[in-house]
Structure 1
Amino acid sequence: MTALDDAPRAALDWHRAGQGAALATVIETWGSAPRPRGSQLAISSDAKLVGSVSGGCVEGAVVAEALDAMGDGRHRVLEYGVSDDEAFAVGLACGGTIRILLEPVGGTLPEDALAEIVARRARSEAVGQAVDVESGAVRVLDADALTDRIREERSGFDPDGKVFVTVHAPPLRLAVVGGVHIAQALVPMARLAGYAPTVIDPREAFASPERFPDTVLVHDWPDEAMEAFAPDARCAVVLLTHDPKLDDPALVAALASDAFYVGALGSTRTHAKRVERLREAGVPQDQIDRIDAPIGLDIGSRTPGEIAVAVLAAMTQALRRP
C-alpha cells in the first residue's frame, strides 16, 4: 500500500485538514474494465485525486459530482455509459457501463467509520465497509464477517443486492526459503506485484542485505522461521534451497497452514523423493497434493529470471483463479 492508492487515508486526511473530501467506490463494471469492483478514488474540494475508478473515462465527471456531494453531504450512485471510442482511448476493447458509489466524508460517510477503516488498514488487518446504497448507512465489518471474501479481495453486493461490501484485505506476503539466485529475481518481481517478501535462510552469506536490499531477512532454521512467519490465506510460500534439510522442515509447516500457494523447486524425480520423505514424516496426502512442483507455470523457463516469472505467474493464478 502506497500513498498513490490509499484513497481512504487521503480522504480522511483532507477532511481532518478542514477540506471537503469524498470517496468514490466502483460497485459495478463492464467486463473489460481496468479497475475492479471495490476500487476507490478520493477527491478533495480542490480536486486533488488519490486512486482511480477507471482508466480515465469517467474521473472528470466523478469529480464534478463529488463537489456537489461535499456541498449537501449526501451519497450518490452514479452510472456512466462508456462508448467504444472512449474505452479504446484508455486501452479497453469495448465500452459498457460503470456504477460508482460516491460518499462525502463527514456526511453519509461518518468520520469515525472512515477513521476505523484507515487505522485497521495501517495495522494490516482485514476490514470491510458495508454501505446500503439506498440509505447510505455505513457499517464497519470485522474480519470474521469477511471470511469468504478476504483471500481474493472480493468486493461486491450482499445477496440482497442492496448492501455493497468493500473489502480491505491485509497485504499479500511471500516467504522465500533459500536466498538463491532465483530468489534474487523473484523478490523484486513479487514486490512490484504487491507482496511483502521475507527471505528465510540460516546461511547468512545467502540471505544478506547485499543480495536482498530492503528485504526482511530471517536466519533462523526454516521450521522455526516459518512458525514465526505464520502463513495465512494471504500468503505464498516458495522453497528454493534444493536442500531437504532446509526445505522439508519449512514445507511441513507451510502445508499445515492456510497459505494459498506452496511451491518447491526441483525436478519431477526430485519431487517424487520429496513426497516419499513427507509421507514417512506423516504429512497427510491432501497436504502433499497442495505442493506446486516442479515449481511455476510450465512456460519453458531456463534462467533464474525466467523461473522467477513462472513462479510469480503460478502464485498469481493460485490467488486469482483458485
Structure 2
Amino acid sequence: MVATTPLDILRFLSARADEGVETVLVTLVAVIGGSSRGIGTQMAVAADGRRVGSFSGGCIEDAVAAEALETLADGWGHVVRYGIGSPYIDIRLPCGGGIDLLFTPRPDTASIRKALDLLGERQPAALRLECDRVTVVADAQEAPWNGECLTHCYQPALRIHALGQGEDLTAFARLAKAFGAQVHALSPDVGTCMDLAALEIAATRIQVRSTLPLTASDHWSAIVFLFHGRDWEEHLLPQALALPAFYHGAIGSRRTHRARLDALQASGVPLEQIARLRGHIGLIPSTRDPATLAVSLLAELVAEYNTLAHWTYWTGESLADAEQ
C-alpha cells in the first residue's frame, strides 16, 4: 500500500487497545488559507510513541505527536492551531496557511470497533468527534466542525472486480492493490490466475464463457472488463451489468463500444443497464501499453469513488438512489 488510509487509522486505534496502549485521535477540523490535507484527515498517536497518518509532508508531525502525548498526560482534549495564527511561531506550513487540529484522548474502543465492523460489512460508518469522546452515529452524513464537535464519515474500501487476461489485467491488478483497493481478478487464463495468486491478489478462474463467477457486488465496487476480444463479453457482460456497482466499464475504441452497445440491446439487456456501461475508459486517451492503461483506469475509478463518497456523505443518499 502506498500510503495510510482512513481505515488504517481506525485499525491502529483498535490494535493498540488490544495491547492495552492508550492513544490519541487527532482530526483536522478547520483549514485557514491553503492546506495539503482536507478536513477530516486524521492521525493516531500511541502512548509508546508509535503513530500513523499525517497532516503535511513531515513539517508538523513531530509537534503533533508531542502535543498528543501531552494531551494524554493532561487527560483532556482540545483544539490547537498550526501554521498561520498559531501560538507555535516556530512551526509553519509550507503552503502558508493554517490548520486546526482536534486532539481527542482515549477514543472509545467500542465505537472504533463498531465503525470497523460496519465498514467490514461494506456499509459507511460515521463518528462524532469531540474533545472528550468519540461515538458512532447512525446517520452516515458529514457535519462540519461547530466549535464542539464534527461528524466524520468513512466509506468502505474501494473494491474492484477486474476481468481479463494477460499483462493488461496483471498490471492493473498490481497497481490497484498497491494503491490499497480490494482487488478481485477474474480470468479464463490459468497462467494469469497463478501469477496474480502469487502476488496475493484474489483471482477466480472463469471456467466457461456463459457463466460469470461473481455473484456479489455493491455500490462501493467497480466492475471493469479488460478483454481485447469481445467473445468473452457476450454472456459475461450482461450478467455484470445486472450487478450493483458505482462503475461498469470495458476497454475498447469508440467503434468497438458502439458495436458492444448494439449487441447488448439486441440480446435484450434492459436499457437502464446498458446505460451504466462506460466505453473508451480511463483518463488517458489511446493508451498503448499495460502500465499506462493501469494508471489511466485506476485514476478514473478513484475519482469516481471519491465523488460517490462526497455525494453520499453530504446529501445522505447514494448516487444509485439519486438516479432512480
Give, as a single letter, the amino acid of the residue that structure 2 aligns with 1:182.
Answer: D
The partner residue of 1:117 within 91, 115, 120 is: 115
The aligned residue for residue 141 of structure 1 is 137
Deviation at 1:115, TM superposition (A): 3.5
Which string of whole-angstrom CA distances, capped at 9 and with x for unpartnered residues, describes residues 100-159 of structure 1? Answer: 221111xxx33322343345556665322112x4x74532135xx32xx6xxxxxx4259
Q: Partner of 2:55 in structure 1?
A: 53
Which amino acid is the alignment partner of residue 216 of structure 1?
A: A
Query: Which letter does structure 1 place at the counterpart of 2:176?
Result: A
CA shift at 1:239, angstroms? 0.4
Query: What is the aligned partner in structure 1 of residue 269 from structure 2?
Result: 283
Kept in 1, the 8 Å contact 2:282–2:296? The answer is: yes
Corresponding residue for residue 153 of structure 1: none
How far 1:234 moved relative to its partner? 1.8
In 2 relative to 1, CA 45–183 (structure 1 residues): closer, same or farther, beyond 3 Å? same
- 1:256 paired to 2:242: yes
Alignment of 1:87 onto 2:93? yes
Distance 1:294 1:114, change over 3 A: closer
Offset, 1:186: 0.9
Do residues 318 (structure 1) and 304 (structure 2) align? yes
Q: Is the 8 A contact 1:187 1:197 kept in 2?
A: yes
How big is the alpha-carbon RMSD for the aligned residues of Structure 1 and Structure 2? Answer: 3.2
Provide the rounded CA distance (Å) in 2 between the counterparts of 1:307 and 1:2.
19
Q: For 2:169 and 2:214, how far apart are their aligned partners in 1? A: 20
1:200–1:222 CA contact under 8 A, matched in 2: no
Unpaired runs of 5+ residues, structure 1, are 89-93, 150-155
1:100 paired residue number? 101
- Identity over the aligned pairs, expressed in percent? 29
Structure 2: runs of 5 or more not aligned? 86-90, 309-324
Aligned residue for 2:175? 189
Deviation for aligned residue 1:174:
0.9
Question: Cα 1:18–1:181, aligned 2, differ >3 Å: closer, same or farther?
Answer: closer
> Is the alpha carbon distance of 1:160 and 1:72 closer, same or farther for their aligned partners in structure 2, counting shifts above 3 Å?
closer
1:172 maps to a residue whose letter is L
**2:170–2:192 CA contact under 8 A, matched in 1:** no
Q: Partner letter of residue 112 of structure 2?
A: L
Which is worse superposed, 156-165 or 37-46?
156-165
- Confirm or deny that 1:242 pairs with 2:228: yes
Q: Secondary structure at the match of 2:280?
A: coil
TM-score, normalized by length of structure 1? 0.79
Amino acid of the residue matched to residue 141 of structure 1? V
Partner of 2:320: none
